[in-house]
Amino acid sequence: MAGDAAVPFVEIEALRSREFIPAAKEALSSMIAEQGQSKLIRPVFNWAGRNSLFPLHWGLACCAIEFAAAFGARWDAERFGVVPRSSPRQCDLMIVNGTVTWKVAHKLITLYEQMPEPKWVIAMGNCATGGGPFRTAYSVVPGVDKLVPVDVYIAGCPPRPEAMLDGILRLEDLIRLRKE
Amino acid sequence: MSEMWINMGPQHPMTHGLWNLRVRIDGELILDVDPEMGYLHRGIEKISEDRHYNEVVTLMDRTCYVAGMAWEHLYILGAEKALHITPPERAEYIRTMSEEFQRIASHIMWYAAFVQDLGLMSPFLYGMRDRDLLLDLFQSYTGARMTYEYMRVGGVRNDLPHGFSDRARKVLDWLMERFKEYDQLCMGSDIFRRRCDGLGVLSAQDCIDFGVTGPMLRSAGVARDLRKDRPYSVYGRVDFDVARATTADVTGRYLVRMEEMRQSVRILRQVLDWLDRNPGPVMAENLPRWLGAPYAPIGREGYLLKREYPKGVGFAAIEEPHGEAAVYVVNEGGEHPYRVKFRSPVYVNLSAARKYLVGYHVADIPPIMGSVDVCVGESDR
Amino acid sequence: MTAAPASSVQWPELLGNSLIALEPLEGTSGRLRFRAADAERVFRAVHDAGFHHLTLVGGIDWVDHREVIYTLWSDERKSYLFLSTDLPADHPSIATATKVWPSANWHEREAWEMVDIHFDGHPDLRHLLMPDGYEFHPLLRSFKLHEPEDLEVKVRHV
Amino acid sequence: MTVSLYSVAHDLVALVLTAIGSVLPAPLSRWITNAGLITALGVIVFAAILLIASMLNTIVLIWFERKLLGRFMDRRGAMHVGFAGLLQNFADGLKLMRKNTFRPEEADGLGFYLGPTAYMVTSLILFGILPVSTGWNSGVLPLSLLLALVVFSFAPLFIFISAWSSNNKYSLMGGMRSAAQMIAYEVPLLLSVVAVVVVSGSFDLNTIVAQQQNYWYWGPLFLALIVFVAAMLAEMERIPFDLPEAEAELVEGWNTEYGGMLFAFFMLSDYVRALVGSFLVVLLFLGGWTMPGWVPSAATSFPLAGIVWFMVKVYIVFAVFVWIRAALPRVRTDQLLRVGWNRMIPLALLSVVLAAGVVMVKCLPVFGCLPNLGI
Amino acid sequence: MTEEVLTPETSGNDNPVLWVARPMATAARQFLKSLIRPSTIVYPFERLEDPKFREEVQVAAGKPIGVGAVWDNYRGVHALNIATCISCNLCSFSCPDLCIEMVAVPGGNPKHPKKCPQIDYGKCSYCGFCSDACPEGCLSMTTRYELSVTKRSEMVYSPQKLFEVFERKLPMNPIRLERPANEDAILLDAPLCIGCNACARDCPTQCITMMDIPKPEAPAGAKLPRRIWKEPVVNDSDCVRCGTCISVCPKECLFWGTRT
């Protein structure tokens, strides 16, 4: 983001371990446990959190067009308080809308780490879910869940904008159920 | 501020996709740029070598996700030449129609993204709204909004549904009104004109040297349009003009694209009339048996043994919404293409970025890159 | 439009013994096979014959040798012309076309990256589509794709 | 001055404290009904009421913009959280409160936190200065207009501090642009205000509004109004002058590195400033809380009628800002500065001259011929 | 070739009226139009594929904007009619993304369980090749498009789950493609056949009948091969060209070819 010097370097190895993902999940849940201990306050914050999901404004591939269409006049995702922000610092939802290649994997993890907690990830479309039609290719990450913890998967190639909204509503349900 | 490099991308609102523009700036002045590609390189050329001829079509929609039909058309033209197959006439007309619809949809998508770069918010939504109408039309005869999988070697999958042309004409009438509105929002606005005039100039000679094609080239005064110069499908039989401007700047590209949309409407009206009058088959009769779409169990073991395959090389080039796209299909006798090589117009247009960016301001990068109409899926393949 | 077909150019006279063969190719005005050693001269001659626009440069791996194709377009003739030449499979190299057609820059970078063809004299021959340091050349026939059955990924912070 | 918000707060506190004091033993009761304490508590209650009212107003303003912008764009805007999406902004604010706020490692700690906070505070102070209706604020400040403009122009400093200290190239560029833009537009802003001052002969906003009882200033001072609105758009950093946070080239401008509550501060202060800008337009040119004479007196004499009419005007002015945002692209930095220095300042000077002329030839009555239309 | 050159003047919007009046007027016009009814479809409550919207949605202001009646052949989640599925494997073979796997469904003969397609929606690209290939029309694509799950494994739809989709009676893709006239047929390399009946047993459409063939005279000095004196005969009009017979043939005596 901030020029060449400020990008933390993340190394990815195709090895037989998945240490990172449980660790991140754990961090997430402990973070949530810390905040809003009070029974009175917690539902309020939970309500706020699920009704105001700011996705990261970035387009990876085909699904990005449907992602944009969902913000268009016909579906208008802003009805649900979903407003894309360009800076990861202000986001709480990363919608991985397209094929993730090994070249962009570092950047994706960096962006994920730049988002403040609590944060969620939606894998939109088949490429993000499992590599889709390109999963055999030499340059494609077969599923973004290999890199960051994914909360909701949306099937479709690409998913219709309605399906994307459905995924966001599913995530809202998830947030409500997980913490109350 | 002294000189510094900034990275615009891969996550940056300007990029409209995954690529990185490294810019060396002094204050607000651009001194040097270096586009970094490959963030969306999905190895489509390699995967195509492992797929049957018809199955490659599913990749083509995803290659250029704003102009899927055009790329399907391109690939099918190349594959048909490599396999020595001639499609029926009605299929050619339907393909032409699809490509022109796609051209309008792609240009509207460009418009939406471009004006958003300039800070204009409502035209983005108008554009997306009007594009949805075209996607509805696509959906009504292909069954999907963006990834159509509609064309096949030897024809198209199915015929148009009942009442399609009436709906299409209604949409075209609506769009012609909307184009006026688009013009009022952009050309009618003094701020817009001052923002775009004389920006990102790329002269005709530079365009030719750097292989730049499409609306960028035509805005520089060169009326090269493969639909006219080297008519494929049925473009030789329809009447249209090549849009051309001479300013070679962002305004010129805007005007060219707007005029192209109007010309596409003109083509579409003729093609729809023809389609109404001439029913017929949409799939070639004499397909090679082993191609046998859609029933042949191609994956089945042993099915492809003991076959005679024709050999051949197919080259096709079309005027895609972004520019000149070409494909080179090598058929070495087999169920899979031996090699598929694509030429993406966006890829080449981006490679000349240094020519049209250096010397302008940082604030000019979004409109200039917006006027190039970047589709990274196509350029990285 | 009375454009002369490209085949009307007297290629044998123009190229001399750099020309190996002129084959017909459907939809274009032919495919010129030339000797790789004389590449620069051929490029210059073809450019001067009116083919100012380079459409694509591509490499094909025919296991025993590699082939480079150049597709050119002439605005005057309204037609495409193919150039192709064969290179040996080990250390294939050919002179760059960027001096004649600047647009060949990225095409040649891609061809080097994907099919491992070295372009002598190229100003900037480095990775374009793959990350820096990628060791393979994916579009070689020897490079096989496979299903990513259960790829395990470890992310380590350094 | 009859009843003012401060006097209400003061009386309320006095009432409560006297009541408490009456049941307490003597030394305590004397201490608790002490006049100084009552004044201090009165000020605090007054400030709290003012803060809550202004924040609620700001949040409603954001909702108003979102809905209005939605209609301009042929869509609906926030609608599922609360009735018609009224609670959407509360949800946004609460969520941002819960979010982690962290500072980039290389960022300067003091500036990083000081910038947004000071930006917020200086923006909110303005509500204590601007009168919304007769007796809304603490009392008569003879130079309230000047004070308001001075506080209003603190912002570029804090924006620049926070942009510089977040150690991000985009932030830095956004901050530089912001500083340059605000300084460039400060001058025409003040000059166009001078035109108003020349005509009204006072720096006191109450007086300026009272002077507009019969004729609003936007008729005679139309040029000043245009210059003022344009400069105010630049000061508020709204389209077409929103270069500092130009989304397309500088990711989010000077608040790129801010998340969580600090980002909420920025977001809120932006709208506070938008609200203040609309306040100023209404106060200086559209007659404040006064209404033209042809409006039936029943519509202007109910309790709090002044505030209601004032807010109606404010929202109409803000709707025009939203309309501009929906229809226009943003301009470029150099164009903006050129327009600022080369066009706006001469126009503003001209408007001052015109205002002086209006006073000199005493042609106010000419415009005053149509006083009852409020022109 | 056009001689006309586009300039800002040709677009008819050249001289900007009062700087910005024209775009602002356009925006205001849109505002007034959408005051009554913006073109937004309130998604979870209104759905585009509702029959109501099929007629109502049209190209006009004051109504949600759309073309209407476009859902006839939408390619969404599959519906599988297990009852009519003949386990021919054609869907799985025609899938370009290799997302269909044939799995056994409960019931029937435990030795030869019936196999039906199981679809992994994390890989499926909704190309419709499978439903085009299905000879019985039992695997078809519906208008259901929402499929969001919280676990990757929930995206794998077993035949039963696909049958549940079928039972919801969603509108289905009605387009059935014509079979090509010159399809290949199953041919027999007669000398290799041992008459084992495997092909006829496993044929999903029962189009193979084992016909008796005359037992030839043994040549002098040689023994006749040990075999059952029957030969498969394929009924081409019933055959769906799935190739199951070829894959089960122990002697590899069946092959694809042109019947003369």
What is the model's pLDDT at position D373? 41
Residue C30 CB coordination number (10 Å): 18
E37 shares a domain with E85 = no
Closest E-chain CA to D67? E35
Residue D106, classed as helix, strand or coil, is coil
User: Where among E70, E90, E113 does a domain terminate?
Assistant: E70
Confidence of residue B265 (pLDDT cuts 50, 70, 90): very high
Chain B interface includes D331 (CB < 8 A): yes
Residue A45 in contact with residue D96, Cβ under 8 Å?
Answer: no
Question: Which two tokens mark B148?
Answer: 């159509």
* D207 burial via Cβ count (<10 Å: 0-12, 13-18, 19+): middle
Domain boundaries along the sequence of chain B: 52-380
Asked whether the predicted pLDDT for residue A134 surpasses 60, the reply is yes
Residue D42 in contact with residue D6, Cβ under 8 Å?
Answer: yes
Distance from CA of B186 to the nearest CA of A (A): 19
Residue B16 in contact with residue B374, Cβ under 8 Å?
Answer: yes
Average pLDDT over residues D341-353: 86
Distance from CA of E13 to the nearest CA of A (A): 26
Q: Which residues of E76-107 are buried (b: 16+ CB within 10 A; e: fewer)?
A: bbbbbbbeebbbbbbbbbbbbbbbbebeebee
Q: Do chains D and C touch (3 or more CB pairs under 8 A)?
A: no
CA trace torsion D345, D347, D348, D352 (10° rounding)? 140
* Residue-wise DSSP of E136-157: SS-EEEBS----EESSGGGGEE
pLDDT tens digits along E20-78: 778 888 888 888 888 877 888 887 887 777 777 766 556 555 566 667 666 777 888 88
CB-based contact B118 D239, cutoff 8 Å: no
* Residue-wise DSSP of D229-247: HHHHHHHHT-TTS-GGG-T
Q: Supply the range of the domain harboring residue A67.
A: 54-179
Asked whether the predicted pLDDT for residue A95 surpasses 70, the reply is yes
Question: Which two tokens mark D29?
Answer: 């009761």
Separation CA A74–CA E34 (nearest Å)? 12
Structural domain count, chain A:
1
% of chain A with per-residue pLDDT over 70: 76
CB-based contact A36 D74, cutoff 8 Å: no
Chain E interface includes B88 (CB < 8 A): no
- Residue E202 in any domain: the answer is yes
Give the chains touching E; criterion: ≥3 Cβ pairs < 8 Å.
A, B, D
CA distances from D248 to B8, B133, D329, D332 (A): 10, 27, 12, 12
CB-based contact A167 E96, cutoff 8 Å: no
CB-based contact B185 D327, cutoff 8 Å: yes
Contacts of C143 in chain A (CB under 8 A): 138
E101 shares a domain with E151 = yes
- Residue E108 in any domain: the answer is yes
CB-based contact B181 E26, cutoff 8 Å: yes
Structural domain count, chain E:
3
Average pLDDT over residues E132-137: 80
Chain A interface includes B257 (CB < 8 A): no
% of chain D with per-residue pLDDT over 70: 91
Q: In angstroms, how far is the first alpha carbon of chain E from the final one?
A: 53
pLDDT tens digits along E66-95: 676 667 778 888 888 888 888 877 888 888
Residue D232 CB coordination number (10 Å): 25
Asked whether the predicted pLDDT for residue E172 surpasses 80, the reply is no
Asked whether the predicted pLDDT for residue E102 surpasses 80, the reply is yes
pLDDT tens digits along D121-173: 888 888 878 887 776 665 667 888 888 888 888 888 888 888 888 888 888 88
CB-based contact D263 A48, cutoff 8 Å: no
Query: Per DSSP, what are the bridge partners of residue E157?
Result: E119
Positive or negative, the CA dihedral A100, A105, A109, A111 is: negative
Which residue of E28, E34, E35 is in closest CB contact with D323? Answer: E28
Chain A interface includes E43 (CB < 8 A): yes
- Residue A31 in any domain: the answer is no
Chain E interface includes A44 (CB < 8 A): no
Distance from CA of D171 to the nearest CA of A (A): 9
CB-based contact A62 B11, cutoff 8 Å: no
What chain C holds in terms of domains, given with CATH numbers, is: 6-120 (3.30.460.80)
CB-based contact A75 E40, cutoff 8 Å: yes
Chain C interface includes A37 (CB < 8 A): no
- Residue E133 in any domain: the answer is yes
Contacts of E147 in chain A (CB under 8 A): 154-156, 159, 163
Contacts of B11 in chain A (CB under 8 A): 1, 56, 58, 86, 88, 107, 111
pLDDT tens digits along D227-265: 888 888 888 877 777 776 666 677 777 777 887 788 888
CA trace torsion D116, D122, D128, D130 (10° rounding)? -110
Asked whether the predicted pLDDT for residue C150 surpasses 80, the reply is no
Half-sphere CA count of C113, side-chain side, radius 13 A: 22
Task: Check residues E162 and A43 and name the one with the higher pLDDT.
Answer: E162
Positive or negative, the CA dihedral E109, E110, E111, E116 is: positive
Give the chains touching D; criterion: ≥3 Cβ pairs < 8 Å.
A, B, E
Size of interface A-E (CB pairs under 8 A): 94
CATH code at position E158: 3.30.70.3270
Chain C interface includes B326 (CB < 8 A): yes
Contacts of C78 in chain B (CB under 8 A): 229-230
Residue B80 in contact with residue B156, Cβ under 8 Å?
Answer: no
CB-based contact B12 D251, cutoff 8 Å: yes
Contacts of D170 in chain B (CB under 8 A): 6
Distance from CA of B27 to the nearest CA of D (A): 8
Half-sphere CA count of D174, side-chain side, radius 13 A: 29
pLDDT tens digits along B147-159: 888 888 888 888 8
Asked whether the predicted pLDDT for residue C99 surpasses 60, the reply is yes
Which residue of C131, C148, C154 is in closest CB contact with A131? Answer: C148
Closest A-chain CA to B59? A133
Which residue of B18, B43, B109 is in closest CB contact with A137? Answer: B43
Query: CATH number of the domain at B52-380, out of 2.60.40.420, 1.10.260.40, 1.10.645.10, 3.30.230.10?
Result: 1.10.645.10
Chain A interface includes E96 (CB < 8 A): yes
Distance from CA of D203 to the nearest CA of A (A): 41
What is the model's pLDDT at position B104? 92
What is the model's pLDDT at position B21? 86
Asked whether the predicted pLDDT for residue A11 surpasses 50, the reply is no
Interface test with A, best of C143, C153, C158 (most A CBs within 10 A): C153
Average pLDDT over residues E245-252: 79
Contacts of D329 in chain B (CB under 8 A): 115, 118-120, 189, 191-192, 195
Q: Name the nearest CA neighbour of D192 among D220, D154, D231, D155.
A: D231
- Residue E36 in any domain: the answer is yes
- Residue E174 in any domain: the answer is no
Task: List all residues of chain D from 252 to 271 with a beta carbon under 8 Å from chain A.
Answer: 252, 255-260, 263
Residue B149 in contact with residue B157, Cβ under 8 Å?
Answer: yes
**Inter-helix orientation angle D169-200/D345-360, to 10°:** 10
Residue E157 in contact with residue E121, Cβ under 8 Å?
Answer: yes
What is the model's pLDDT at position B313? 86
Question: Which 8-state DSSP code applies to residue A6?
Answer: S
Separation CA A125–CA E142 (nearest Å)? 18
Domain boundaries along the sequence of chain D: 1-84, 99-373
CB-based contact A1 D99, cutoff 8 Å: no
Chain D interface includes E20 (CB < 8 A): yes
Contacts of A109 in chain C (CB under 8 A): 155
pLDDT tens digits along C63-90: 888 889 898 888 888 888 888 888 888 8
E117 shares a domain with E158 = yes
Q: Supply the range of the domain harboring residue E37.
A: 17-70
CB-based contact E30 D75, cutoff 8 Å: no
Closest B-chain CA to D170? B6
Give the chains touching A; criterion: ≥3 Cβ pairs < 8 Å.
B, C, D, E
E82 shares a domain with E57 = no
Contacts of A4 in chain B (CB under 8 A): 5, 7
Average pLDDT over residues C25-34: 77
Please state which of the ranges C111-120, D177-186, E210-219 shows the lowest mean pLDDT: E210-219
Note if the bond before B294 is cis, omega within 30 degrees.
yes
Which residue of C25, C53, C75 is in closest CB contact with B313? Answer: C25
Half-sphere CA count of B4, side-chain side, radius 13 A: 17
Distance from CA of D229 to the nearest CA of E (A): 15
Q: Name the nearest CA neighbour of D100 among A121, A147, A47, A90.
A: A90
- Residue E51 in any domain: the answer is yes
Asked whether the predicted pLDDT for residue A117 surpasses 80, the reply is no
